[in-house]
């Protein structure tokens, strides 16, 4: 990105000097036409913008204020200063949720990126049944979340699930207890997320791959470049923007994870333990179970700050 | 035709092996779901897996409708999903036209506002948003969910990116012919934007159909609940009714799969042309 102010040329395209002292005087008719044009443009924007401004922009501003207030939703608000932030950073569950969310993100992002890229490259080859494979790999993404988490919980059931039965049949005596084991729970959730999201990011990579100029590959074939070199020196650099985009989207998506964890790990009641709690779950609890709206907003600001920081860092790295 | 070397043939075989394994990983859970939905609870976990049950337990599919008000849930979810998708398609494609093809005051500022909020997770402002909507008396109404989902900045951004690829000369020519801006939008842009509209439809439909947290916060009355909430609370209460849970799961999957399969031929094209690849 270019931060320098663009210099306004002092000459027109024909090489004639521009006289800035002359002000174009608009006739009444021209003014009226311009106003009309603006009004037409605003009429296009209005249906979306009004909804967007009232129900998104206003709550965002409100969220910032609320983090510094005490409010239970019914009685009057009182000033809290930094108390909400002091409270959450001394709260064990909140700190655990912060830790878990980071672990989840660090586990999910790189693996999903690699798997979806590999899948996209394979499915970009001229292979028979390519469309079938493309469609199939998208199933986990569109599949209804309650349904697929229910299947996973049964497949990975520690005592009777087919996955562990298979492992036992293969000679593994004590197969992992997956979601029921505190040490394996996050890993299981990461595994599920990769399975669910790789098809989606595969499509985005596929779109990126199809944007690469085929002449680049043809030229390199003449020069006798091998497949690996083609990948490393042509495909990967050409996909840089796509990778950057996916990295940001995926990271943001991971930090706001909630429903996957809730449905996989929150058996019956849906309560999450210290081993699996995530940021959004804590926000939800503070707000809608304990009605400490200031605390919930402080937690939400932490989520927002992390997402913002990650985005800025990735933009910085991209520039280098 | 190029003649393949032995190395290339081996590579091709390996690729197919890889693809078949991947397809199995993607599909088997769904096939297992289908198979388990036709079994009695005690047969669900027999090992080795019996993929085609000997005596299919079709009654799972009739019992799930009476065990929970599945029809109400499905009706609610359809209603919300269709309204949200239509609103989203209309308002996004409409607003994006102005951002892409019209010049007006504050254009860049407004667009920047849209872009900036894409990066703000909904979860970060869901609490004040809830308090606001509750203040308006919209708690426990479907209108709240519609409002939540229908005006996303993402849709506007996506449609705008797609319109950028449509030559402006096309609009200019139509303007000279005396077509109004609304006419250009409806008669020229929309027909051209089919891939982008299909992609946005898939995204919005899937997201609204599968949304959990939004309805979970707003809809506490049983008659208003969506299928995700309804099925989830059934699983919470009767976690060992495996056959029924799987039958319910299959039912909730069908609508999204139908929408996806009918629009998917536009999908890669739509993602590519809308600049979603970055």
The domain spans of chain A are: 28-66, 84-319
Q: How confident is the model at residue A27 (pLDDT cuts 50, 70, 90)?
A: confident
More confident call, B223 vs A213: B223
More confident call, B39 vs A10: B39
By C-alpha distance, the chain B residue nearest A206 is B268
Rounded to whole angstroms, how far apart are CA atoms B227 and B77?
Answer: 6
Contacts of A196 in chain B (CB under 8 A): none
Q: How confident is the model at residue A23 (pLDDT cuts 50, 70, 90)?
A: low
Provide the residue count of chain B.
Answer: 278
- Which residues, at least 6 apart from A103, have a Cβ–Cβ distance to it below 8 Å? A186
Q: How far is residue B273 CA from its own chain's centroid?
A: 19
What's the sign of the alpha-carbon dihedral B147, B149, B152, B156? negative
User: Which of B26, B74, B200 is the best residue to mutate to test the A interface, defined by the most A CB atoms within 10 Å of its own CB?
Assistant: B26
Q: What is the pLDDT of residue A6?
A: 45
Q: How confident is the model at residue B270 (pLDDT cuts 50, 70, 90)?
A: confident
Superfamily of domain A84-319: MetI-like (1.10.3720.10)
Q: Which of B198, B13, B258, B129 is nearest to A288 (CA)?
A: B129
More confident call, B49 vs B197: B197
Rounded to whole angstroms, how far apart are CA atoms B219 and A68?
Answer: 28
Q: How confident is the model at residue B241 (pLDDT cuts 50, 70, 90)?
A: confident
Contacts of B202 in chain A (CB under 8 A): 142
More confident call, A217 vs B186: B186
Contact: A142, B202; criterion CB under 8 Å: yes
Interface of A with B in 79-118 (CB under 8 A): none
Residues B67/B234, Cβ–Cβ less than 8 Å: yes
Contact: A127, B181; criterion CB under 8 Å: no
Instruction: Pick from A275-289, B112-126, B261-275 the range whose average pLDDT is largest.
Output: A275-289
Q: What is the pLDDT of residue B114?
A: 84
pLDDT in tens, A181-224: 888 999 999 999 999 999 889 988 988 888 888 888 888 877 77
Residues A71/A84, Cβ–Cβ less than 8 Å: no
Residues B211/B80, Cβ–Cβ less than 8 Å: no
Structure-token pair, residue B115: 């872009």
Rounded to whole angstroms, how far apart are CA atoms B126 and A66?
Answer: 12
C-alpha distance from B224 to closest chain A C-alpha (Å)? 18
Q: How confident is the model at residue B189 (pLDDT cuts 50, 70, 90)?
A: very high
Contacts of A308 in chain B (CB under 8 A): 119
pLDDT of A98 above 90:
yes
Cross-chain CB nearest to A283 (options B127, B276, B278): B127
Contacts of B227 in chain A (CB under 8 A): 144, 146
Q: Which of A294, A311, A250 is nearest to A85 (CA)?
A: A294
Averaged pLDDT of chain B? 87
Q: How far is residue A34 CA from its own chain's centroid?
A: 40
C-alpha distance from B197 to closest chain A C-alpha (Å)? 16
Contacts of A148 in chain B (CB under 8 A): 29, 249
- Which residues, at least 6 apart from B256, have a Cβ–Cβ distance to it below 8 Å? A142, A143, A144, B205, B206, B209, B210
Instruction: Give the residue-averaged pLDDT of B224-251.
Output: 88
Coil vs helix vs strand at A79: strand
Rounded to whole angstroms, how far apart are CA atoms B230 and B236?
Answer: 10
pLDDT of B142 above 80:
yes
Contact: B103, A199; criterion CB under 8 Å: no
Q: What is the pLDDT of residue A261?
A: 93
Q: What is the pLDDT of residue B3?
A: 57
Q: C-alpha dihedral over B234, B239, B240, B241, to 10 degrees? A: 20
pLDDT of A7 above 70:
no
- Which residues, at least 6 apart from B87, have a Cβ–Cβ distance to it below 8 Å? B146, B150, B151
Averaged pLDDT of chain A? 86
pLDDT in tens, B74-118: 999 999 999 999 999 999 999 999 999 998 888 988 888 888 887
Q: What is the pLDDT of residue B51?
A: 86
By C-alpha distance, the chain B residue nearest A58 is B129
Q: What is the pLDDT of residue B32?
A: 92
By C-alpha distance, the chain A residue nearest B19 is A133
- Would you list the domain boundaries of chain B? 6-61, 63-273
C-alpha distance from A41 to closest chain B C-alpha (Å)? 5
Rounded to whole angstroms, how far apart are CA atoms A242 and A264?
Answer: 30
Contacts of A207 in chain B (CB under 8 A): 268, 271-272, 276-277
C-alpha distance from B200 to closest chain A C-alpha (Å)? 13
Rounded to whole angstroms, how far apart are CA atoms B95 and A58?
Answer: 20
User: Which of B12, B211, B278 is the best residue to mutate to test the A interface, defined by the most A CB atoms within 10 Å of its own CB?
Assistant: B278
Q: How confident is the model at residue A111 (pLDDT cuts 50, 70, 90)?
A: very high
Coil vs helix vs strand at A11: strand
Q: How confident is the model at residue A76 (pLDDT cuts 50, 70, 90)?
A: confident
By C-alpha distance, the chain A residue nearest B264 is A135
Instruction: Give the residue-averaged pLDDT of B20-34.
Output: 92
Strand ranges (E), chain B: none
Structure-token pair, residue B161: 């990116």
- Which residues, at least 6 apart from A13, have a Cβ–Cβ distance to it below 8 Å? none
Helix and strand element counts for chain B (H, E): 15, 0
Q: C-alpha dihedral over B210, B158, B23, B250, to 10 degrees? A: 20
Rounded to whole angstroms, how far apart are CA atoms B34 and B36?
Answer: 6
pLDDT of B29 above 90:
yes
Long-range contacts from B210-215, C-beta under 8 angstroms, 24+ separation = B210/A144, B210/A145, B210/B256, B211/B145, B211/B149, B212/A145, B212/A146, B212/A258, B212/A259, B212/A262, B212/A263, B213/A258, B213/A259, B213/A280, B213/A284, B213/B123, B213/B126, B214/B126, B214/B145, B214/B148, B214/B149, B215/B145
Domain B63-273, second-level architecture: Orthogonal Bundle (1.10)
More confident call, A14 vs B265: B265
Contacts of B18 in chain A (CB under 8 A): 122
Using CB atoms within 10 Å of the CB of residue B48, give its burial: 0 to 12 exposed, 13 to 18 middle, 19+ buried: exposed
Cross-chain CB nearest to A145 (options B90, B122, B212): B212
pLDDT > 90: percent of chain A: 40
C-alpha distance from A16 to closest chain B C-alpha (Å)? 27
ipTM of the complex: 0.86
pLDDT of A99 above 80:
yes
């Amino acid at each position: 990105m270019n931060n320098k102010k663009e210099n306004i040329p002092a000459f027109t395209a024909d090489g004639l000097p521009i006289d800035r002292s002359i002000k174009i005087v608009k006739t009444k008719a021209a003014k009226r036409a311009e106003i009309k044009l603006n009004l037409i443009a605003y009429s296009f924007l209005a249906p979306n913008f009004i909804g967007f401004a009232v129900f998104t922009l206003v709550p965002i501003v409100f969220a910032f204020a609320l983090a510094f207030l005490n409010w239970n939703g019914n009685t009057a608000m009182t000033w809290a200063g930094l108390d909400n932030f002091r409270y959450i950073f001394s709260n064990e569950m909140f700190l655990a949720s912060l830790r878990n969310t980071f672990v989840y993100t660090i586990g999910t992002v790189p693996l999903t990126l690699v798997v979806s890229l590999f899948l996209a490259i394979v499915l970009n080859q001229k292979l028979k049944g390519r469309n079938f494979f493309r469609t199939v790999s998208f199933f986990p993404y569109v599949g209804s979340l309650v349904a697929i988490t229910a299947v996973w919980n049964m497949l990975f059931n520690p005592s009777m699930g087919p996955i562990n039965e298979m492992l036992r049949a293969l000679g593994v005596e004590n197969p992992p207890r997956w979601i029921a084991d505190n040490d394996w729970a996050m890993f299981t959730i990461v595994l599920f997320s990769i399975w669910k999201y790789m098809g989606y990011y595969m499509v985005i990579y596929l779109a990126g791959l199809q944007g690469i100029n085929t002449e680049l590959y043809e030229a390199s074939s003449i020069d006798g470049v091998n497949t690996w070199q083609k990948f490393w020196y042509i495909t990967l650099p050409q996909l840089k923007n796509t990778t950057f985009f996916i990295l940001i989207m995926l990271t943001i998506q991971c930090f706001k994870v909630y429903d996957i964890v809730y449905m996989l790990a929150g058996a019956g009641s849906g309560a999450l333990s210290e081993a699996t709690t995530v940021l959004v779950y804590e926000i939800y609890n503070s707000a809608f179970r304990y009605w400490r709206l200031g605390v919930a907003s402080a937690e939400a600001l932490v989520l927002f700050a992390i997402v913002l920081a990650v985005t800025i860092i990735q933009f910085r790295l991209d520039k280098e | 035709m190029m003649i393949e070397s032995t190395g290339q043939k081996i590579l091709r075989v390996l690729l197919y092996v890889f693809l078949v394994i991947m397809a199995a990983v993607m599909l088997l859970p769904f096939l297992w779901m289908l198979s388990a939905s036709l079994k009695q609870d005690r047969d669900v976990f027999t090992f080795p897996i019996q993929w085609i049950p000997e005596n299919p337990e079709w009654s799972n599919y009739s019992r799930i409708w009476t065990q929970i008000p599945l029809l109400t849930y499905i009706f609610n979810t359809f209603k919300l999903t269709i309204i949200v998708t239509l609103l989203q398609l209309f308002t996004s494609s409409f607003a994006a036209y102005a951002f892409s093809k019209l010049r007006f005051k504050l254009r860049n500022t407004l667009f920047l506002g849209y872009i900036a909020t894409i990066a703000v997770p909904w979860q970060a402002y869901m609490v004040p948003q809830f308090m606001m909507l509750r203040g308006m008396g919209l708690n426990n109404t479907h209108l709240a969910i519609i409002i939540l989902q229908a005006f996303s900045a993402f849709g506007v951004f996506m449609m705008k990116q797609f319109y950028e690829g449509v030559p402006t000369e096309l609009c200019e020519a139509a303007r000279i012919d005396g077509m109004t801006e609304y006419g250009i939008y409806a008669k020229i842009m929309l027909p051209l934007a089919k891939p982008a509209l299909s992609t946005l439809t898939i995204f919005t439909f899937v997201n609204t159909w599968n949304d959990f947290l939004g309805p979970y916060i707003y809809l506490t009355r049983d008659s208003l609940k969506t299928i995700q909430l309804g099925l989830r609370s059934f699983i919470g209460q009767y976690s060992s009714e495996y056959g029924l849970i799987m039958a319910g799961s299959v039912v909730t999957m069908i609508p999204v799969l139908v929408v996806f399969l009918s629009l998917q031929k536009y999908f890669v094209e739509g993602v590519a042309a809308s600049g979603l690849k970055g």
